[in-house]
Structure formats: structure tokens, C-alpha cells
Chain A
Amino acid sequence: MELLILLTLFVVAIFLGVELITKVPPTLHTPLMSGSNAISGITLVGALLAAGSGAPDPLVNIFGFIAVVLATINVIGGYMVTNRMLAMFKRK
């Protein structure tokens, strides 16, 4: 049953994502891409859970650690870069 609820979430969120984007002015294409790229860094949540799991196999912690580093770069870099792009638009 829980799997079915999660599948429902997955499918509904896909349709929501499709409806969310309709008309985007070309100047916002790159910032939107960059901003949603930062959101895909949400995998950081999965990375934290893996890195902190205290599992007996050290490979779990090592891959978890790598995941935390990469996802944090994605999140911090992603939001900062998007912010910089948008700040440039405002001045114009």
C-alpha cells in the first residue's frame, strides 16, 4: 500500500511539473534551468541519511560522504549561481 501511495505522489508530481511551466521568456531559460537544477540537489537528503547511517560496511559511509560532497556543491553552487544571474537581470 505504501508503495502505491508513493507511486501516486510520483505521478501527480510529474503532471504538476508539466503544468507548472507554460510560457517562459527566453531571458529566464538559463536561470530557470539553474534554479531547478539546484532543486534536484534535494538528493542531499538521501545523501545525509546514507552518510550518517552508521552501517557496518565502510563503503556505505564512503559513498554517502561522496554523495554529501557532490550534492552540497550542487545545492550551494546552484542557488548562488541562480541568484547571481537574477541579480544581473534586475539591474537592467
Chain B
Amino acid sequence: MQTEFIYLAYLVAAVLFILGIKGLTKPRTAVKGNQLSALGMLIAVVVTLFDQNILSFQWIIAGVIIGGVIGATMATKVQMTAMPQMVAVLNGFGGGASLAVALANFYGLNHDLVPMISISATVLIGAVTLSGSFVAYAKLQELISGNPIAVPGNKVLNAVLLIAAIGLSIAIVNEPTNTALMVALVAVAIVLGLVLVIPIGGADMPVVIALLNSYSGIAAATAGFITNNTVLIVSGSLVGASGLILTSIMCKAMNRSLTNVLFGVMGEVG
């Protein structure tokens, strides 16, 4: 299939996502909105399968079957009362997927500047989303205490980890074939996600999940810059921005400040 046709279909998908998010903000149009968005996803996925760069299908077929069965089973079995933690888990998988996309490209791509910057950013944001979402899940599912857990020197630790992650990202861009640096970045980012969410109390978790949802959107957008994929960039940044606004709306509804969420210090407020 022609590349132009695929990108036109991506445009249609992006428009359906926009209409879908818009629809989901009003009770009357919410069901329709979700259906339009799902149709957009179907179109984007199907046309991608016709991309000339896809040479083999065995990994794709196996992955879609396994993922589809797991996703459908989880969605059918989950209790309605357990929805926030369900969204957290799904969001964690989304972040993990962007992380894996970035790692696949790290091993497969030529190491030009823009793709390398995008790979590092995607690994950082994707890994934080992955581990942070699973802490949020564990708290709501009461696998670990839902109470705010005081971590001494929490802010300093967060700052040190973030600076280390950014430093490693810059080092990877300079040394694109150094696998050890990449492993270190993944590890630091996963720990960063853990320490960001662990101090926060269970009652504030919905706001944190909304914020992590925004992160997974940004991770998808930065993944789009690895291979110049327009539908990833547009949809990812839509979710990233609208997710941030939703986070702020939810904060206001709960009388919280967004700054406190962003810096992971809500536990101290509560």
C-alpha cells in the first residue's frame, strides 16, 4: 500500500480520536465518543499492517493474540469497584509498550541524533509510567499499604534520580551503541517511577493515575519521533495534554494542588 494512503488513514484515525475525546466529556455523547475512538484505533492498526516496512508477521500475530486474550479477559473479569486500579494496570502496560518500542528501535535503528533523543526520552517516560502505574495499582488493590508512606529525603532522592536519568540520556545520545548506559537508564527510570508514587496516599491515587495516563500519552508521542510516525505524535500529544488538564480538573474536584501532584508530595499535604 502507498505510504501516502497510510498517512491519510492515520489522519482519519487522529480526527476520530479527537472526536472521541470530545465525546467522552459529555454524558450524552460518551458512548458514541468511545466507539469513534475505537474505530480510529482499528483503522490505524489495520493500515499499519500494509506498511512496506513490515516484512514478517509471526511476531505480530503471536503478540496480538496473546495481548488480545489477556486484555479481554482482564476487562471482562474486573469488578466495577476495581476500575481505577484496572486503568492503572492498563496504563502501566501502555507505558511498558512505549518503552519496548524504544528499546526495539535502539537495537534496530541507525543512530541519528533525533531518533536517539526520542529513544532516550521514550525510555525515561515509558519506564516511569510502567513502574509508577504498578505502584498505584498495588496501593489501590491493597497489596501494599494505601497510607502515605513517608520517605525521608524524598524530594532530594527524586531530584537525584531525575538528574541521573537526564545525564544518562545525554550520554546515550553521545554513545548510541553503549548498551550498558541504556540498561542503566531503564533501571534509574523504573526506580524513579517507584519513588514518585510510593509516598502518595491511596485516596489521592486517582489523580496520580490521571497524571501517569498523561505521561503514557507523552511516551507514545516521543516514540512517534523515533520513526517519524504522525499518528503516534498527534494521538500521543493529545492524550498527554488532555490528560494533564483532566488531572488538574480532578485535583480541583478533590481540593488538591497540581504542583503538589507533579512533585509527588501530596502525601505530606494529606
Contacts and interface: CB of A to CB of B under 8 A. Distances in A.
A3 to B, nearest CB: 6
B150 interface: no
B91 interface: yes
A73 B107 contact: no
Contacts of A34: 83, 86-87, 90
Contacts of A28: 24-27, 30
Interface in A27-79: 27-55, 57, 59-79
Given A21-B242, A74-B97, A46 B227 contact: yes
Contact of A57 (B62, B101, B107): B107
B100 A63 contact: yes
Interface residues of A, number: 81
A84 B72 contact: no
B90 A81 contact: yes
* Residue picked from A13, A45, A71, A86, most chain B C-beta under 10 Å: A45
Contacts of A79: 34, 37-38, 41
- Prevailing SS type, chain B contact patch: helix
Interface residues of B, number: 98
Contacts of B236: 40, 42-43
Contacts of B103: 59, 63
A53 B54 contact: yes
Interface stretch (B138-146, B191-199, B211-219, B262-270): B211-219
B261 interface: no
B41 A69 contact: no
B98 interface: yes
A9 B53 CA distance: 23
Contacts of A27: 27
Nearest to B13: A42
Contacts of A46: 98, 101, 220, 223-224, 226-227, 229, 232
Contact of A50 (B34, B68, B105, B210): B105
Nearest to B253: A26
A39 B246 contact: no
Interface stretch (B44-52, B158-166, B167-175): B44-52
Contacts of A82: 24, 34
B27 A49 contact: no
Interface of A: 2-3, 6, 9-11, 13-18, 20-55, 57, 59-90
